[in-house]
Amino acid sequence: MVSTPLAGELLRVSLHPGDRVTAGESLIAVIEPGDPALLDVRTRAELEARVQAAQARKKHAETQLERARTTVDFAKSQHDRAERLLSENAASRESFETVGMLLRTASVDAQAAEFAVTIAEFELQQAQAALRQTTTSADARENRLMIHSPISGEVLKVFQQSAGLLPAGSSLVELGDRTDMEVEVDVLSGDAVKITPGAVMHIENWGAQMPLKARVRLIEPQAFQKISALGIEEQRVNVIADFEDPFEVRQRLGDAYRVEARIVIWSAPSVLKCNAGAFFRHHGNWAAYRVVKGRARLVSVELGHSSGIESEVVSGLQEGDEVIAYPGDQITDGVRIQGRSSASPADR
């Protein structure tokens, strides 16, 4: 978000959403002094304090960047060590993937720290420029403030395009780099506790037939309240993920676009599964009705993981067994049944 560092006369902004910008080169806006009050003692003191605050933020950002780079170096050494141990069969594939996830996370944190340093430098330059502009009462054209883009990317939104007097802190444009987007998905807090960093996320219904792949980086530690479409108050948690597909595949996906996501919390290479509606509680255990020679036979089953739609069958049924989905009160052990002609074998 680029805003005005001081009050003044804004000249018309020529940028439009979608325009490309380059850090330090592209001109965002031009502000000319519009009020002599900019030169008073109070304003000068405030701008000097803003410069000092910007300098402190820059030093803090540089410290965080150094810390992030140290973490990346350590993560790289751990990754190299894990890779060597894996090649020698002295470490498991799971531990190697965990170290790799930590290296990717550290690299993303380092990129964020570099971005924070760039923003801090930009804020310092703007604060210093604003202070310089208030130290002279020369012609407005000679004292105009040129605001350049702090990052390379494109214009996402223009808040103020027409010329006019603006107070300090007014939003001008919003910039972003769509090649470095992240995914933010809100889930129920009860589901969030099942998700771990590094989990695979499938992005669907984003506008193309092919789903996109992402990997969970962060589960935010604080939930927020949201009213569902049915008017129910829910506690939801934001899950942040990074795209794994190249930008060329998702280049039409923009900021704040709606997507649907599926997060993998468990998987196995070979699973016997069945419609969850076929199972019910019987004497404290799970049971189902299996169709044997036209009759319903009550069988006890042991279930594993369930998605609410399908359930993993650990024991009690075999591949190819025909079961009754959503059995009614008229279904009992040994009763003769007849399947509906319009139903598939999996639903009868």
CATH code (residue 42)? 1.10.287
When divided into structural domains, the chain yields a total of: 3
pLDDT band at 312 (very low <50, low <70, confident <90, very high): very high
Same domain, 255 and 322: no
Rounded to two decimals, the pTM is 0.55
Tokens of 232: 């129910």
Three-state secondary-structure class, residue 21: strand
Of 263, 291, 324, the domain-final residue? 263
Kindly tell me if the per-residue pLDDT of 217 is higher than 90: yes
Same domain, 12 and 135: yes
Its domain, for residue 209, covers 181-263
CA-based nearest residue to 109, from 57, 70, 60: 70
Kindly tell me if the per-residue pLDDT of 19 is higher than 50: yes
Same domain, 147 and 251: no
**% of the chain beyond a pLDDT of 90:** 44
- Give residue 103's pLDDT: 82
Same domain, 235 and 151: no
Query: Where is mean pLDDT largest: 13-17, 71-75, 82-86, 248-252?
Result: 13-17
Cα angle 230, 235, 240 (rounded to 5 degrees) comes to 110
Query: Where is mean pLDDT largest: 131-145, 227-241, 328-342?
Result: 227-241
Same domain, 129 and 190: no
Kindly tell me if the per-residue pLDDT of 236 is higher than 70: yes
Kindly tell me if the per-residue pLDDT of 293 is higher than 70: yes
- Give residue 67's pLDDT: 86
Largest CA distance in the chain: 100
pLDDT band at 341 (very low <50, low <70, confident <90, very high): low
Same domain, 153 and 13: yes
Same domain, 233 and 283: no
Same domain, 275 and 255: no
Same domain, 335 and 226: no
Same domain, 6 and 75: yes
Same domain, 42 and 109: yes
- Give residue 346's pLDDT: 44
pLDDT tens figures, 88-120: 776 677 777 787 888 888 888 888 888 888 888
CATH code (residue 278)? 2.40.420.20
pLDDT tens figures, 258-291: 999 999 988 888 999 999 999 999 999 999 999 9
Q: Determine the Cα–Cα distance for residues 191 and 197; give it in Å rounded to an integer.
A: 14
Distances in whole angstroms, Cα of residue 341 to Cα of each of 328, 338, 345: 18, 9, 10
Tokens of 341: 């002609």
Of 202, 235, 263, the domain-final residue? 263
Same domain, 161 and 212: no
The conformation of residue 204, written as its DSSP 8-state character, comes to E
Q: What is the CA radius of gyration of the chain?
A: 30
pLDDT band at 342 (very low <50, low <70, confident <90, very high): very low
Of 263, 282, 297, the domain-final residue? 263
Average of pLDDT values for 208-225? 94
pLDDT tens figures, 161-204: 898 888 888 999 999 998 889 999 999 999 999 999 999 999 99
